[in-house]
Amino acid sequence: FSSKLPETAVSIFSQMTALSNAHGAVNLSQGFPDFPADPELINLVTEYMQQGFNQYAPMPGIMELRQAIANKLEYLYRVQVNPETEITITSGGTQALFTAIGTVVQPGDEVIIFEPAYDSYKPSVELFGGKVIPVRLQTPIFQIDWDEVESLISEKTRLIIINNPNNPTATVLAQEDLLALERLVVDRNIYVLSDEVYEHIIYDERVHQSVIQYPGLRERSFLVASFGKLLHTTGWKLGYIIAPPFLTTEFRKIHQFNVFSSNTPMQYAVARYLEQQGRYLNLSSFFEKKRDLLVMGLQETRFNILPSQGTYFLLVDYSNISDQDELSFAQYITREHRVAMVPVSAFYSKVYNQQLLRICFAKKEATLVSAIQHLKEL
Ligand code: PMP
Ligand code: GLN
């Protein structure tokens, strides 16, 4: 048997969560909230199930939800998006990413990604016969050098994947970055996949820059979003993708034979819930308080803290504490000090040991306080 993904193992998130559970550790590894979703939202799902909304949704998603998303985009970014031809509901962000990659990547095509990168990009590209061209961003700023990106573009480059705000670096792209990307791709046969699942989690009064706001990008981009992040419901696996009609048509050809359609009662519930505009705007201040609590606590440890501009992640440097490699050190802390974190080496296609760990702070205050107590032992 010949593996299609010989270099791929069980994901680091599954590994660390399993280790954390085995040792009764505080799990700050896999990115998910440990607090409940809004009971009003849960009640809506139950209501729709009881009313009999339990059969297949239309393949691209129910129109009520696509319209609610179009309303959100108009309200936030002042852009008009056609829910019929440009918005598709997906079973989470990961499925949207996978199907979008499958839509444009042909065998032999090159795909530029920025490392550290979310773990699903590379295997997805490779499954469709593409080749990943990684651009390594340098700690601690992780800034993109767009001249370097240009130098890596070839006849074979078909797709550039960006993730803004970024998991795991917690950095946010500026307007100049989006403009530089736009200049690179217009007049070239290159598409953009913009993973914006953390669009509403952005700190210190920064403003999210979406590809949908840049005409030269919008006409060739997929924008991926996730209700798991927006509504604290990562287990619902509900998200959406926005793309111009010609890309949406091709995306849906694959989507219909991959998942066909996503969870019906949840789509109705989310559509109703989103009717109340502005709910998503509280997310940044909600998570900013958690970030600040974690930063304050970490200042009393021997970890060095890298700035978190967005997402619910933060990186720490442990070079003052240990010279172990990242995976061994993360496993050691989980076993001996009962806090689970993610080694940043998991987000690279080559192993670099930069002595960095990723912490998820989408947690109750008590969880963060308890983790800090444990980390002070180090
Ligand atoms: N992209 C990034 C950068 C993520 O961090 C995640 C999930 N944490 C996803 C995509 C996937 O989202 P979902 O859980 O909706 O599949
Ligand atoms: N995206 C989440 C994280 O970064 C994990 C999602 C998963 O486990 N697939 O931690």
pTM of the model: 0.98
Q: How many angstroms separate the alpha carbon of residue 185 from the centre of ligand 2? A: 29
pLDDT of residue 256: 97
Which of 28, 30, 234, 312 best tests ligand 2's pocket when mutated (most atoms within 8 Å of CB)? 30
Position of tokens 């010279």? 323
Q: What is the largest CA-CA distance in the chain?
A: 58
Q: How many angstroms separate the alpha carbon of residue 31 from the centre of ligand 2? A: 5
Spatial distance between the Cα atoms of 168 and 312, rounded to a whole number of angstroms: 9
Which of 197, 198, 308 best tests ligand 1's pocket when mutated (most atoms within 8 Å of CB)? 197
The verdict on the CB of residue 13 being under 6 Å from ligand 2 is yes
Q: Are 229 and 196 within 8 A, CB to CB?
A: no
The verdict on the CB of residue 93 being under 6 Å from ligand 2 is no
Q: How many angstroms separate the alpha carbon of residue 35 from the centre of ligand 2? A: 17
pLDDT of residue 276: 85
Q: How many residues does the chain have?
A: 378
pLDDT of residue 186: 96
Spatial distance between the Cα atoms of 230 and 374, rounded to a whole number of angstroms: 30
Q: Measured from the CA of 30, which atom of ligand 2 is nearest?
A: 10
Q: How many angstroms separate the alpha carbon of residue 361 from the centre of ligand 1? A: 15
Please give the backbone phi and psi of residue 260, each rounded to the nearest 5 degrees, phi first.
65, -70
Token pair of 248 as six digits: 């949406």
Q: How many angstroms separate the alpha carbon of residue 13 from the centre of ligand 2? A: 6
Nearest residue by C-alpha to atom 8 in ligand 1: 31
Spatial distance between the Cα atoms of 76 and 277, rounded to a whole number of angstroms: 10
Give the CA distances from residue 305 to residues 115, 322, 353, 374, in Å, rounded to whole numbers and listed in that order: 19, 15, 17, 17
Q: How many angstroms separate the alpha carbon of residue 93 from the centre of ligand 1? A: 5
Task: Tell me if ipTM is over 0.85.
Answer: yes
Question: What is the CATH topology of the domain spanning 12-37+281-375?
Answer: Aspartate Aminotransferase, domain 1 (3.90.1150)
Spatial distance between the Cα atoms of 202 and 170, rounded to a whole number of angstroms: 9
Q: How many angstroms separate the alpha carbon of residue 119 from the centre of ligand 2? A: 8
Spatial distance between the Cα atoms of 318 and 304, rounded to a whole number of angstroms: 6
Spatial distance between the Cα atoms of 19 and 38, rounded to a whole number of angstroms: 29
Long-range CB contacts for residues 138-142, cutoff 8 Å, separation at least 24: 139/306, 139/354, 139/356, 140/306, 140/307, 140/315, 140/317, 141/171, 142/116, 142/166, 142/169, 142/171
87-90 and 239-242 beta bridge pairing: antiparallel
Under-50 pLDDT residues of the chain: none
Q: Measured from the CA of 342, which atom of ligand 2 is nearest?
A: 10
The verdict on the CB of residue 354 being under 6 Å from ligand 1 is no
Sheet containing 356-360: give its strands across. Answer: 304-305, 313-317, 356-360, 342-343
Domain with CATH 3.40.640.10 in the chain: 40-278
Domain with CATH 3.90.1150.10 in the chain: 12-37+281-375
pLDDT of residue 280: 85
Q: Which CATH number fits domain 40-278: 1.10.1610.10, 3.40.640.10, 3.40.50.300, 3.65.10.10?
A: 3.40.640.10
pLDDT of residue 6: 92
The verdict on the CB of residue 163 being under 6 Å from ligand 1 is yes
- Continuous H helices in the chain: 12-22, 39-50, 63-77, 93-104, 121-127, 146-152, 175-185, 215-218, 227-230, 245-258, 264-274, 283-298, 326-337, 365-375
pLDDT of residue 107: 98
User: Does residue 215 have a cis bond before it (omega within 30 degrees)?
Assistant: no
